[in-house]
Each structure stands twice: as C-alpha cells, then as structure tokens.
Structure 1
Amino acid sequence: MENVSNLARRHKDTLYRLLTSFTDLGYNMGYQLLNAADFGVAQSRVRVIIAGIRKDLGFFYEFPKPPQIRRTVRDVIGDLPEAATVTKFLYEEPLIPNHTTNWESPSPERLYDVILNPRNQRRGMRRLPWDDVSPTLTAHIAKDGREFLHPTADRRLTVREALRIMSVPDSYVIPGSVKLSHQYRLTGNGVPYLLGKALAQSLRLQLLNARDNRMVGII
C-alpha cells in the first residue's frame, strides 16, 4: 500500500491500527518512508509504503535500498521539443503523445502579473528548476497547473512532461478520449514507475528466495 507521508508522521495512531488489523489477519507487516527521488525519479516525492507478507510464507518484506541515482528535470524533459498546441493537435497528430498544451488558466499575461505582483495567492506560481528535482506533483495540476510551470516556457507542464517526471516510460500513452484534466489528475495521483518497479522487483526476489528455502527444507 502507498499513502502520503503524513500517515506515518502525523497520524501514527491510524497507521498502527492499520498494521495491527492486518497482523491479526495473518500478515507480517512493515512500513517505510521512501523518497522517489532516491530511486532515479526526477521528483521529490516522499510516501509511506506499507507491505504485508502472509505469515505462513515465513518472512518479513525487506524494503529495497535506494540506488541513490539522482535525475533532474532537465534529464527527463530537456530533450522534448516544444509542445504542440491543442489547436494544432486538432489538425495534426503530435509527434509525442500527450505532449500538447492549452494554456488558458492562467494566461501568460496573468502568469507574469502574479509573479510580479503576488498579492494574496493561496497557491503561488512556481517554475520547475532545470537542474534539480521537481517538487511533488499533485492532482491539483489538473486545475490550472500554476504550481508546476515549465522551467522556461510560459505554460504549465504537458501531460507527457508530468509523466516523465513520474518516470513513466513514453510507451505508456493516455488515450486522447480521456479529458485533459483527468489525464493530469491520474498522473498526479500515481505512483512513480521507478519506485514501483524497485518495490516489485525486490518483492519478487524475496518470494523466490522463500520458495527456494522451503524446497531445500523439504528435501
């Protein structure tokens, strides 16, 4: 299971009740806070990962050690061409799927106005840094994306740029029939691919080792 970090930081009682409930159901439980940035994701995204292994399998899940591979925003989106506009997309397929933009809220003029005259903005304008990791992408990017501006272009990220910052391979394409706001929302609500892959690979290896150990014991 995956959840926001505050489950382990501010709501420990809830977390421990959850762990206890699954322990009573017959699972060896454990949890750990992991930052996707430590697994090669160009994004600082700390989440609590909860793992349970059936007790009859005879082991506790051991969380993978981060490879400490750091990738920046430039590393993952710097090679992308300028995004196609939605207007152009109506007449011509984009070269890269999900790499279109329709900057309407806020407009570039509004963007500069808020940057120069902050006023009382609940959520400020924020450009992503080229040479560092991105802040945590959230489902809020589906609203107007003002917190996730391209490092140099006067627009929010495209869905493809957001997917790359989530380390999702380009082979994963969201159908154009899905509303653009829903594309952003499912991306912001997702689990970074490289983190999920590391968790799955370590789980597979541990399950195979447990199977081999049982076979040796039988022999």
Structure 2
Amino acid sequence: MTKFDATPQLPPNGLTVAELFAGGGLMAVGLKSAGYDLVWANDFDKNAVKAYRHNLGDHIVHGDITALDIDSIPDVDVIAGGPPCQDYSVAGTGAGESGERGKLVWAYLRIIETKRPKAFIFENVKGLIMKKHRPTFDSLLERFAAIGYTVSWRPINAWDYGVAQKRERVFIVGIREDLGFTFEFPEPSAEYYRTQVLRDVIGDLPEPSEYYYRHPRNYDRRAVYSIDEVAPTVRTVNRPMPDGYKPHPEDAHVTVEIAKHNPQPLSEKALEYPHRDPRHLQKHRPPTEDEPSPTLPAVLHKGVPYGLFYPPNHVQTQATTVKPHQRLSNQRGYVADMDGPGRTVNTCRLDHAEIHPQQPRRFTVRECLRIQSVPDWYVLPDDLSLSAQYRIVGNGVASRVAYLLGVTLAEQLRTTTESSAIGERLISDDSGREAV
C-alpha cells in the first residue's frame, strides 16, 4: 500500500509563484505538485505560518499584508491566493467589502497591479458571486481589467474534479493582456466527475477501536498500522497498549505511519445534538463512507455539528418516526447498507428523520486533510492546538483543485509563449528591463 496522494509530483515547470493569504499551504501543496517553484508566501495567522514552514519551507513571511512593503515581494510568474472569506460567506458575517477581512480583496488587487505577474489565481467563497455581494465581485473584475488583465472566472465544486467533498468556491484566473490569450478552465473528466466518496480517500485508514473512546489518553497522535490481506492491525507509537492486547502475528510486516489520525471523543451532549431536533439532522446529517463529505468549514474546530462522520460497518435497521424536539439518543433509525444506495433525507416533514443506531464520530485531522485532497506527506506540527489544526484545514483550498488549475495554467502559458523554456520570464518591467 502507498500513502494517499491526490496530487502526484510533476517535474519542475520553470514557473515561480508567490502566494498571498497562504494559510497552512494547502493551495501551495497543489501548485508545488504541479511543478511550480514556491518562492514567497504570506499570512497573518502565526499558527498557519508555522504549519506552512513545517511542510513547505521558510520562504513564508508572517505579518499583515496591508502593512507589507509590496516592493519586498519578489518578481514572480504567478501570484495565487484567496483573501479571507468570512465577510462574504453565507455562514459568515455578511459584512462584505465593508468588513475588515472583506477589504482585503482590494489589497490583493493592489499587489497584482504593482507586481504585474503574467498570471494570477484568485480564490474565494461562492457567496462572493451571490446577489448580496455581486456588486463587489463585478467591481473587482472591472478593476482587474482596468489594470491590464484578461480575466476568466468559474464557480468550482471540488467534487467535480476528483475530491471527495462538496466544496464550492469561485476562482478567478487573470492573464496579463500583453500575453494575448484568455485562460480556459479545465473541464472535469468522466473518471473523476462526482465519483469520489469518503471510502476512496479514508477507507484504508484504521477505524479507532472502542478502547480509544474509553481511554483516549493511552493513544498517541500517530497511528501505525500493518497492511495484510485481511485487515489493518492498529497499534500506537510509544504508548502503553490496552490490557490483554495481543499483537497481530503479522505486525512485523510492512508498517505505514499515518500522522494526525487520532479521533477526538465527543461528549454525550455533543453526540445528541444532531438528533435533538429532526431539523438539525436534516441539515447536518453526518455522511457515510459511500458519500462525499459536506464542505469542511473554517469553523470545523468548533466541533458538533461540523465534521461528524458515520463510521463504517453500519447495520441497517427500521426507520423511526419522531416528533420535533424529541430526544433520539436511545432511538434507532435507518441507515443504508455500505454497498447500497442511501435513502432520501426528507426535507419537507419535520415529524420524520432518518437516524443511525450508532453514534457518529468526528473526522480526525488526517481524515480532514485527505478529504481536502492533501497528500499524507503533509503533517501539521504537534505543538499546534487541535482547534488550530482543524481551522487550518477548514480554511484551505482543496489541493487537487489547485493542482489541476496550476497544470492547466502552465500548459496554456507554454503554448502561448511558443517557447521550449516554459519558465521564460515575460514580466513587464517598468524600471527599464525589456520583456522577453
């Protein structure tokens, strides 16, 4: 078995990239895998900067982008990144460009105007193109055109591109006008269009044992398991094993180390939340392995109802009819067989909901990373709080989407420049250097 990697490393393409609002580097992971040279990055969150440095290098600068000397940003071929989205998110403040974070879209534009890369990739929440914030979006497109960029934009659902998550984000790709072409977004392939489900990305990870939920402190932050033809054998690193534990006879076989795959036990109150009111269950029903994940939000660290997941090996039982606000912690409900289709969740009636006889559990950090299509070589530092780790993952760009956009952009730049050297610099130089 090989470790999970939805963004296989391509050879260097000769293009350099700087990333604004880089977060923990989930977008950078995709661009790096696509062959780009990451030369500079910035973020305001010290925990995100620590995660970025731990995985991608020391070229990230910690600080407020609005206070940064733009001239200190190196000349690059591509500038990428997405300003904080909370002020434009449907679930966020709704403040839009008047919010402190909402204003940062204009800081992004000023940097593009000053540095004049040959291309940029801008990412944000789908709320930016909804009715309330559409004037800001349209104004942003007009401003990009005014400073000399031909822009293309598209709302992208990550599930359409081989990510096991229904994550919708809007992307703008701008091409400097002197290059003479308009970026064309990659189309989803039949192989990956809405085919990936949780089983595909987390199905090979060991399921936490019942012992863990009773004695979580006996487990380390890393799970090490053996791979054989029957099932993985779960054991831990440098921690005492449960009383009576007997190692599998094949434990000496090849072991694979998976970081950040420790489940987080939930309180009784938290477990009961989705079942307390059928409306909660309809809105926040945890997915099974046969479905893609709902969007992992920036507030994933807050726990229930975010990031809940029904573990495998469910038992099909008879559905139960309940009344609004009836507590269902001891009730049994229906869940489809793992290899069959799930029943429709009724959104019209409040007196019926499909529930599960077993309590859901929370996604582990590693599972969240895989759902975001982040390779297993990416590991969050141990000294980050659990809430910080979840926040970094929830705020990130799905790495595979960034990878595919990066590959497509590099190919179109190479074709348009008609050069054998894909990284040939075409940045306009106001200081007297000639553009190649």
Who is 2:151 aligned against?
29
Who is 1:3 aligned against?
124
Q: CA deviation at 1:75?
A: 1.1
Cα distance change of structure 1 residues 200 and 25 upon mapping to structure 2, 3 Å threshold: same
CA distance in 2, matches of 1:87, 1:74: 27
Q: CA deviation at 1:122?
A: 11
Q: Tell whether 2:134 aligns with 1:12.
A: yes
Is 1:30–1:61's contact at 8 Å kept on the other side of the alignment? yes
For structure 1, the 5+ residue unaligned runs are none
Q: Normalising to structure 2: TM-score of the pair?
A: 0.45
Q: CA deviation at 1:80?
A: 0.5
Is 2:274–2:305's contact at 8 Å kept on the other side of the alignment? no
Aligned residues: 212
CA distance in 2, matches of 1:208, 1:31: 21
Q: CA deviation at 1:177?
A: 1.5
Who is 2:237 aligned against?
92
For structure 2, the 5+ residue unaligned runs are 1-121, 222-235, 240-256, 312-358, 422-436
The alignment's C-alpha RMSD in Å is: 2.7
Q: Tell whether 2:418 aligns with 1:212.
A: yes
User: Aligned to 2:198, which of 61, 73, 91?
Assistant: 73
Who is 2:402 aligned against?
196
- The aligned amino acid for 2:299 is H
Q: CA deviation at 1:175?
A: 1.3
Q: CA deviation at 1:125?
A: 5.2
Task: Point out the structure with the larger helix share.
Answer: 1
Cα distance change of structure 1 residues 87 and 207 upon mapping to structure 2, 3 Å threshold: same
Is 1:37–1:45's contact at 8 Å kept on the other side of the alignment? yes
Matches within 5 A, 1:1-219: 1-10=122-131, 11-68=133-190, 69=192, 70-83=195-208, 85=216, 87-89=218-220, 92=237, 95-103=257-265, 106-107=266-267, 109-118=268-277, 126-152=285-311, 154-212=360-418
CA distance in 2, matches of 1:86, 1:26: 57
* Greater Rg over alpha carbons, structure: 2
CA distance in 2, matches of 1:121, 1:37: 24
CA distance in 2, matches of 1:30, 1:180: 37
CA distance in 1, matches of 2:279, 2:163: 32
Is 1:146–1:156's contact at 8 Å kept on the other side of the alignment? no
- The aligned amino acid for 2:125 is V
Cα distance change of structure 1 residues 116 and 17 upon mapping to structure 2, 3 Å threshold: closer
Q: CA deviation at 1:72?
A: 0.3
Who is 2:230 aligned against?
none
CA distance in 2, matches of 1:187, 1:37: 17
Q: CA deviation at 1:41?
A: 0.2
Q: CA deviation at 1:155?
A: 2.1
Q: Normalising to structure 1: TM-score of the pair?
A: 0.86
Q: CA deviation at 1:141?
A: 1.2
